[in-house]
Amino acid sequence: MYAPDAYVQFATTLKQGDTLSYTLKSRKKTWLEVTAPEANMVIGYYGPEGKWTVQDQSPAVGSVERIHFDPEKIRDHSIKIWPAAYLETVQDVHLLVREQAKPGVLKTTFQQKEWLEDLATFKRIRTKANSGLLVYRTQKEIDSAFNRAEQAIKTDCKDLFDFYKIIVSLTDFEGSCHNVTYLPEAIDDYFKGQSIYFPIAIKYLKGTLINNSPHQQIPLGAEILSVNDVPAAELITRLAKYYPTDGFSRPYKERLAVEKGLKEKYLIEFGTSAQYRVKYKWEGGEKVLSLPGLDAAAFKQMQEKRHSSGLDSLLLKEKYSFVKLKEDLYQLSIRGFDFAQSEQDSAYHGYEAFLDSAFALLNRKPGNQLVLDLRYNSGGAGFLYTKTFSYMSERPFRDAQFAYSSFNEVPEKEALVLSSFLLANAVKNSSDIEVHLKQRFPVGVNGRYYLSDTFNPLVLPHKEPFKGPVILLVDEQVASAGAHLASLVKSYTNCITIGRETCGGYYEHNGHLPFLYQLPHTKIQTGFSIVYVNQDARLLESQPKGRGIVPDIELEATVGQFLKQEDATIRYILNNY
């Protein structure tokens, strides 16, 4: 990366646990850049509307954070800088803070030899380290995919984004919702200061793209038919690969392709555009309108003001809650399992007391029904979902029937990145990881190192488990531990499932321990969870292999319900139960 001349350049050292208080020195428009080779840095600042904002766009150590400031538009110039995670071997964190007129120029061109060497490294990493590589694909299919990738590099690879698309396609092909692929820098950093972002928010409903931006020239609720002459169906198909799911599940990919992908990935997939030619349908007729692109800040504000933000915020207001919907019908909502770090955490004990109270009330009357609402639950800690299911299970169960890693000694060590996850778990080098692995995966059989029962204990059911009817609510965003709970509930309770197929798998997934590697030339980072988990779920005719939790009743909001911001799922429950 080339850095232009700076207005201000300031080097300092942070003691472990310290936060740097910094005040903008420039009175001109400026790019603030913070670099730290040994840490993952976070920047907190006040935006133009006085709102405190936190930015952490780097996934691991070697953090680079960039923000554009216009001093005339912000009242408070104070900034806080601190490490989210750092190498434990480093007592102090060395920082370089720059204020400069232009952002650094990021490298996007490489030699074909470098692309091919990075592809070879990527293949070795996936082959040696990813236990999920051949869960949904045969070796022949994987080999063919890599052969196509090599040919694409030789014929179509012109810049970093072309190569990134090739790596993303390979990552998506494997079929795991824990797979990630990061560009060397945050996507906004490649297009700083340009007004090129898609100018309207989109809601995906029943296979169509619906305008989700009020106060636009395009009517709220209008169906978007094409963007820059690319039909909606092609937009979905080409952007879906950036959002992997377990196996072959499609709903999450299709929804995220347009609700997130039109900002995050459109520029990579289709190139930049200062104007967007949008074709839409409204009141039986079709119209075309040209809209100017937005800069990153304006795009963010537009998303915050999208029509659906009220209902989204309401549903995500609390991590978990328990309410009475009507006589004999209670709703337990759990939006994630990321609110406690361990079973010793006070947050865990608070959740346990909450479950005790909720299920005691449910068990008071035999006719009570439970609506278990897992919508938006993308996962988290395994001990939280197993604790939850213990209140509904009549049998002992385990997190996994069996689980294994492909190794207990780290392969391709020179490419391994110490991610925030590893740092947060007191891992400071590959030797620490191997101690962790050998404890958990002590025995290797035919290249599989199986999870010890010590770390896969038998979970006993609650002394008075709930035996009444369960109405399980799921959507496309349910994944990982959220989907694992949903699979157990569907398997072993008196359950009917309503909603949309989940992102996470019913029978199996890769999870538990995420690894992140960096390719040597392009610095693209590729991540996946190294542990294959065979879930303790019953074989059901309604559940084909390679799918998420498939609902018994498919349910999605209508355009009318979207416009009213009505919770279509709860409305259906109230009308039918």
Question: What are 409-423's pLDDT values in tens digits?
Answer: 999 999 998 776 776
Q: Specify if 482 maps to a domain.
A: yes
Residues 501 and 354 in one domain: yes
CB atoms within 10 A of CB 51: 9
Q: Are residues 287 and 330 in the same domain?
A: no
Q: Which of 289, 307, 325 is the last residue of a domain?
A: 307
Tell me the CATH number at 227.
2.30.42.10
The CA-based diameter of the chain, rounded to the nearest angstrom, is 73
**Residue range 123-144: mean pLDDT, rounded:** 97
pLDDT at 90: 57
Examine the domain organization and report whether 279 and 338 are in the same domain. Answer: no
Q: Is 382 in the same domain as 486? A: yes
Q: Kindly state whether residue 216 falls inside one of the protein's structural domains.
A: yes
Q: What's the pTM value of the predicted model, to 2 decimals? A: 0.88
Report percent pLDDT > 70 for the chain: 95
Domain termination residue (choose one: 100, 128, 154): 100
Kindly state whether residue 107 falls inside one of the protein's structural domains.
Answer: no
Does residue 268 carry a pLDDT above 90? yes
Q: Report how far apart, in Å, the C-alpha atoms of 530 and of each of 81, 132, 233, 448, 526 are.
A: 32, 7, 34, 11, 12
**What CATH number did the domain enclosing 67 receive?**
2.60.120
Find the mean pLDDT for residues 199-205: 96
Residue 497 in any domain: the answer is yes
Q: Give residue 24's pLDDT band: very low, low, confident or very high (50, 70, 90).
A: confident
Kindly tell me if the per-residue pLDDT of 233 is higher than 60. yes
In the block, tokens 């040919």 appear at: 151
> For the chain, what is the domain count?
3
> Looking at the domain assignment, is residue 124 inside a domain?
no
Do residues 296 and 319 both lie within one domain? Answer: no
The CATH number of whichever domain residue 369 belongs to comes to: 3.90.226.10
Residues 283 and 364 in one domain: no
Residues 89 and 209 occupy one common structural domain = no
Res. 466: pLDDT tops 50 = yes
Q: Does 526 score more than 90 pLDDT? A: yes
DSSP symbol at 528: E
What residue spans of 180-250 are helical by DSSP H?
A: 187-190, 232-240
Domain assignment present for 127: no
- Output the average pLDDT for the chain: 91
For residue 297, give the nearest of 183, 213, 186, 193 by alpha carbon: 193
What integer pLDDT is reported at residue 1 of this predicted model?
Answer: 43
Instruction: Please tell me whether residues 386 and 346 are part of one structural domain.
Output: yes
Instruction: Judge contact between 465 and 393, C-beta under 8 A.
Output: yes
* pLDDT of residue 6 exceeding 60: no
Residue 359: which H helix or E strand, with range? helix 346-362
DSSP 244-282: --STT--HHHHHHHHHTHHHHTHHHHH---SEEEEEEEE
Q: Would 159 be classed as within a structural domain?
A: no
Contact (CB, 8 A) for 559 and 210: yes
pLDDT surpasses 60 at 88? no
Residue 85 has pLDDT above 70, yes or no: no
- Measured on CA atoms in the order 289, 294, 298, 304, is the torsion positive or negative? positive
In this structure, the answer to whether residues 571 and 493 fall within a common structural domain is: yes
State pLDDT tens for residues 134-189: 999 999 999 999 999 999 999 999 999 999 999 999 999 999 999 999 998 877 77
| Domain-embedded: residue 142 | no
CA-angle at 263, arms to 233 and 74, nearest 5°: 160
pLDDT at 259 over 90: yes
Q: Which of 52, 17, 20, 25 is nearest to 35 (CA)?
A: 20
Is residue 221 domain-shared with residue 269, that is, in the same domain?
yes
Pairing, β 275-282 against β 285-292: antiparallel
| Claim to verify: residue 319 and residue 303 sit in the same structural domain | no
The pLDDT confidence band at residue 107, using thresholds 50, 70 and 90, is confident
Residue written as tokens 């001109």? 28
Rounded distance between C-alpha atoms, residue 320 and residue 374, angstroms:
10
At residue 425 the predicted structure's pLDDT band, cuts being 50, 70 and 90, is: low
Residues 231 and 377 in one domain: no
Contacts of 459 (CB under 8 A, 6+ apart): 386, 389, 390, 393, 396, 397, 398, 399
Higher-pLDDT residue of 84 and 494 is 494
Element (H, E) at 6: strand 6-15
Question: Is the model's pLDDT at 355 over the cut of 60?
Answer: yes
Quote the domain boundaries for residue 240: 189-307
Name the strand (E) or helix (H) holding 477.
none
For residues 535-574, one letter each, b for 16 or more C-beta atoms within 10 angstroms of the residue's C-beta and e for the rest, the string is: bbbeeeeebeebbbbbbeeebbbebebbeeeebbbeebbe
**Helices and strands in the chain, H and E counts:** 17, 27
Of the candidates 284, 307, 330, which is a domain's last residue?
Answer: 307
